Amino acid sequence: MNLIDGKKAAAAIEQTLLERITLLKQRGITPGLAVVLVGENPASQAYVRNKDRTCARLGMFSRKIELSANTTQDQLLQLINELNVDPLIHGILVQSPPPSHIDEQAITQAIDPRKDVDGFHPINVAKLAMEDPSGFVPCTPLGCQHLLMSVGIETRGANIVVVGRSLIVGKPMALLLLRKGVGGDATVTVAHSRTRHLAEITRSADIVIAALGRPHALGSEHIREGAVIIDVGINRVPETSSATGYRLVGDVDFEAVADRCAAITPVPGGVGPMTIAMLMQNTVTACERLKNSR
């Protein structure tokens, strides 16, 4: 079993980004990312801190905007409009999930597609489906693809099962793997929590990408000998011996399948670092495009 090291792969991406950022700064341009957090979700707060730290490490401009949970839809839309026209901001991300009174779809659609570094605006989703490289791909699926490529795992002609159908991971992941060219050309099956005979379907896969959001949803009965596993899940489960009272586990039961698979991502330390690396990459790309178009 080979461990697919997300931290190592993310560090390689960051090194490439540093070179691109240096070239931009030589032109007097600093890539800028605005991250908006509404409410006080502890997990979201941790994600935002990680993104802020990564921006600082890369020498990017970061604007962290923390709003109270009672922020109105109109107030949030007004902020998005201001960020859309702010020349210092090239990427905009509104941390998901927002409070229940916020229409997340409306917020996503309000973001300028050229600054939608999360890749969820309908225009960017359509560009992904149309294999138009001028769009932005959601960060987690893009990170999963890069992880496979970083360790030389061939997707061309591979039978890949994506377990999960969300707009954040499952659906864009399938579209990305279906694209023609390097990192694509796969035969993709999308399964989910309502799929009948799930274990039978996943056991047929060369590569399983697990994105159900349920701890240890996939066990040894779901994985065939020699398969590759990309575990997107980050779930908190109680752990009395931990100072935090919990530990992080994936959607796949790592201990149960590690000995039978060819390669697997750990949780934490697998997909998570790559998601942030792809966010930074999308932001730098957005900056380059915006500045070249003016």
Q: Which residues are catalytic?
A: 51, 95, 118
Q: Which candidate, 89, 57, 66, 88, places its Cα nearest to that of 276? A: 57
153 Cα distance to chain centroid: 19
Residue 23: which residues within 8 A CB-CB, separation 6 or more? none
CA distances from 225 to 3, 145, 171, 206 (A): 15, 22, 26, 9
Q: Which candidate, 56, 58, 78, 57, places its Cα nearest to that of 67? A: 78
Task: Please list the alpha-helical segments (H only) found in 94-247.
Answer: 104-110, 122-129, 139-150, 170-178, 198-202
Do you know the residue count of the chain?
A: 294
Check: CB of residue 227 under 8 Å from CB of residue 208.
yes
Residue 214: which residues within 8 A CB-CB, separation 6 or more? 193, 233, 235, 251
Pairing of strands 91-94, 187-191: unpaired
Q: Which candidate, 210, 146, 211, places its Cα nearest to that of 183? A: 146
**Phi, psi dihedrals of residue 27, rounded to the nearest 5°:** -95, 5
